[in-house]
Structure formats: C-alpha cells, structure tokens
Amino acid sequence: MRDLPDPHLSLHDASDYIFGSQLVRIALADPHPRNLAVLIRDVIVLIHRLTVSCQLAEFTEHGLPHLCSLIDRIDRWTIPSTGASPSSIVSGMTAGEAGQLVLAVLFHDIGMLSQRPDDMPGAAPVWESRGTRDLATWVRETHVRRMKQLLRRSFTGSPLAPTLEDNAVVSAMTIAESHSSWPWEPPFSTLQPREAGLAAMLAISDLLDEDSNRCDIATLINHRWGTDMNRAHWIRHGLTQGRVLIVEDTINVKIVAPPGTGGQLTPVFAGLRNHFRLALLYREALNPFSGAGLNAEFNTPNGCPVAMAQDLVGWNRIPGFGSESALAYHLLSSFMPIGLLDPKRVDPATLARTACANLEQVDLALFHKIHGESEPRSADEHVFRALDVTS
C-alpha cells in the first residue's frame, strides 16, 4: 500500500531552502544567540502551522513561499564591484547582522496569519478594534502591531521563550516592524545606521514582491471571494511579469496590461511604476552596505504596455469590476497614497520627501470623481459610480 503524501512537504522544502540560503549560512557561521538555528526552525514551523490553519482566503501569499521569495531576492541582490563581477549585498554583513535580517524576514508578516485581537499591545485605539471593520481589513491594518505579542504568546512555555528577549532578537523584531515605516518615521527612524540598512533591505524586498509569481492569479480571480481591495491586489500582481530582482543596483520591472483595456489604465501604470520607485526612498539607509546607487528601470517608461497578461482574461466578470473605469478605480485605490502623489490624502511635507525617488505625476481625476470630493461615499456607491462613470 502506498504511503499518504507528506502534509508537511511544503514546510520541509521551505526549511531546506531557507537554511541553504547564503543569508542563513552567513548567520550560522557565528550565531547569536547561540540557539539561532533552533529558533529559525521553530519560527518556520509556527508560520507553516498558522498558514495552513489561519491564513484568510482573501489574501495573497504571506506564508513560507513569500518569505522564501524575500530571502532569495536578498541573496541575489548584487551591487557594483571594482572586481570582475558584481558583489552580493549580503557579503558585507556580519554573522550577527545576517541573523537579525533572517529573523526580521520571518517575523515581518506573521501577523497576517493570525486574527487574535488580544495580541494588540496595550489599549488599542477605537479605530483599531476588531469590531470596526471586516476581518481581512483589520488583519492587514494591524498585523505589524500584533507581531511581538503573537510571537511571545506562541513561544509561551517553550525553552526558547527567553531567547525572544535576547537583544539581537528584540532588534530583529524592530527591524521587522520597520518594514511598514518610511525612513523618516518610527520605528525606522530610531534604528542605528547598520540596523537601518537591514530594515531597508527587508522593506525594499517586500515592496518588490509584487509580481505575478506571488500567487495563482487566474485561480484567485475565478474561485475566491474577497473585498474589492483584495481583488484589486490580486489583479495588481498580474500586471508585473516575472520576478523583480536587483542586479547591480538596478530594479528591472516588466509591466503588462489586462486584455481588452486601453488608455483609462494609464494612471494605473504610472501608479505601479511609482510603487516600485518607492524602494528608492530607502537608498540613503543602504549606505552602510553600499547599495545606495539603487535605481529602477521599466519596459514602459510612460503610458500603457503593449503586452497582455493572459492570467487576467475575464477580469470584467468580477463583480464590481465590469468596466475599464471600475478596474482603474479599484486598482488606483489599492496603491499607497504616497505613491500616487495624492495631495488630498498626503500632507505636503511628506510629498516633498518623495523627490529623491523621482516619482511621476499620476492623473487622479477619475479616482477623485468616483471617490468623492467632500462627503465620503459608501463602498457600494464607489462601485456603482465606477461602473457608470464616463470619461
């Protein structure tokens, strides 16, 4: 009789992949804390269990495949060298720094895999309470704040519980928290220079994990049901073809379009290019590791791409996405306001800080027309207007 397939095969594969990475090999050459390898393994197991049992169906991948992708991107990140070949950015790390970055990568999205309100620190503001919005939105918006307590609760009673209070591990938690901060915001702004460099590598790698390899887009669109924001994120992943890697300080991005679309998506592609250019806001923080020459190159420097994303065939059958204007609105809604240079949602001082990233202007006329100028509209009204609006 044949044995049943191993239900933990993905765990074994991911663990082997992570432990075989250059980053982990550097970390374990002189580990700190001494039981770092055991901690890494146990955190990988925890993430696997949470993903299998708890990851919400609406979300794209935030478990081990996403973390392997980030570690691979950091491993492959090269910077110009005076020698015959480019240098790996990780080769400039000490063992302790590599260990902190590995842990920060593993920690950074763990809150996306859990829905426990009691992991919120202290007395959370009313707007962060679980009852104020749908579960998926609450999980996304609070996942960083819940990370530390989730980790400590998960290791309660474990011999590794004291290790979580080791200075190196606490620092890794802060680096992980910083992936949701801009360099001028806490906790990023509180980091020491080399810690900030590690935080920049994590933040940049996470920003770049936006490609079509992140998830099975066609299956998501055809078989999963989520909020409009969830579905917009799925479609966004389909707009970037192939993996986005950093080779000799250059981010290369190939953008494609949903079949049957045209000029109305021009602002969306400007917003997508800006999304990747946001990585350039972290350039100065990379100085200790000589990655400060970072730049981004696109196959479509302006306008819409010619190539089509076949995974996105049938996008207009998604409820609420039945017209190109509706698709454009939902996709624009999925971007961070700072990447859209939206003066209605971002203060002038913050917009001024983006000058170093050379962001392009985004035509937000359609977005503001649907979203409303003054009195907020309901989500249903947004969808209705997006389906009905004419240019």
Model confidence at 76: pLDDT above 60: yes
Indicate the residue among 161, 182, 209 that finishes a domain.
209
Indicate the residue among 209, 243, 275 that finishes a domain.
209
Phi and psi at residue 246, to the nearest 5°:
-110, 110
Whether 40 and 173 map to the same domain: the answer is yes
Model confidence at 32: pLDDT above 90: yes
Phi and psi at residue 61, to the nearest 5°:
-65, 125
Domain annotation covers residue 252 = yes
Total domains, the chain = 2
Indicate the residue among 209, 235, 259 that finishes a domain.
209
Domain annotation covers residue 2 = no
The DSSP bridge pattern shows strands 246-247 and 240-241 to be unpaired
Domain annotation covers residue 3 = no
Domain annotation covers residue 5 = no
Whether 176 and 32 map to the same domain: the answer is yes
Model confidence at 98: pLDDT above 90: yes
Which parts of the chain are beta strand (E)? 78-79, 87-88, 240-241, 246-247, 250-255, 295-298
The pLDDT confidence band at residue 102, using thresholds 50, 70 and 90, is very high
Whether 385 and 353 map to the same domain: the answer is yes
Angle at 93 between CA 90 and CA 95, to 5 degrees: 115
Whether 259 and 366 map to the same domain: the answer is yes
Whether 236 and 354 map to the same domain: the answer is yes
Domain annotation covers residue 4 = no
Domain annotation covers residue 63 = yes
The DSSP bridge pattern shows strands 295-298 and 78-79 to be unpaired
pLDDT digits (tens, 9 = 90+) for 138-178: 888 899 999 999 999 999 999 999 999 999 999 999 999 99
Model confidence at 286: pLDDT above 70: yes
Phi and psi at residue 232, to the nearest 5°:
-65, -40
Most confident of 96-110, 199-213, 279-293: 96-110
HEC string of 286-338 equals HHHHCCCCCEEEECCCCCCCCCECHHHCCHHHCCCCCCHHHHHHHHHHCCCHH
Whether 132 and 178 map to the same domain: the answer is yes
Do residues 139 and 62 touch, judged by C-beta distance below 8 A? no
Domain annotation covers residue 102 = yes
* Higher-scoring residue by pLDDT: 289, 217: 289
**Mean pLDDT of all residues in 23-31:** 98
pLDDT digits (tens, 9 = 90+) for 255-279: 999 999 988 999 999 999 999 999 9
Domain annotation covers residue 223 = yes
Report the greatest alpha carbon distance in the chain. Answer: 69
Whether 136 and 218 map to the same domain: the answer is no
Which parts of 110-194 are beta strand (E)? none
Whether 296 and 360 map to the same domain: the answer is yes
pLDDT digits (tens, 9 = 90+) for 324-364: 999 999 999 999 999 999 999 999 999 999 999 999 999 99
Whether 144 and 244 map to the same domain: the answer is no
Whether 93 and 230 map to the same domain: the answer is no
Q: By residue range, what is the domain housing residue 112?
A: 10-209
Whether 242 and 370 map to the same domain: the answer is yes
Per the listing, tokens 């005076």 go with 82
Whether 17 and 47 map to the same domain: the answer is yes
103 Cβ contact list (under 8 Å, min separation 6): 36, 39, 40, 43, 169, 172, 173, 176
Model confidence at 388: pLDDT above 90: no
Distance separating alpha carbons of residues 315 and 294, to the nearest angstrom: 34
Residue 391's pLDDT is what? 47
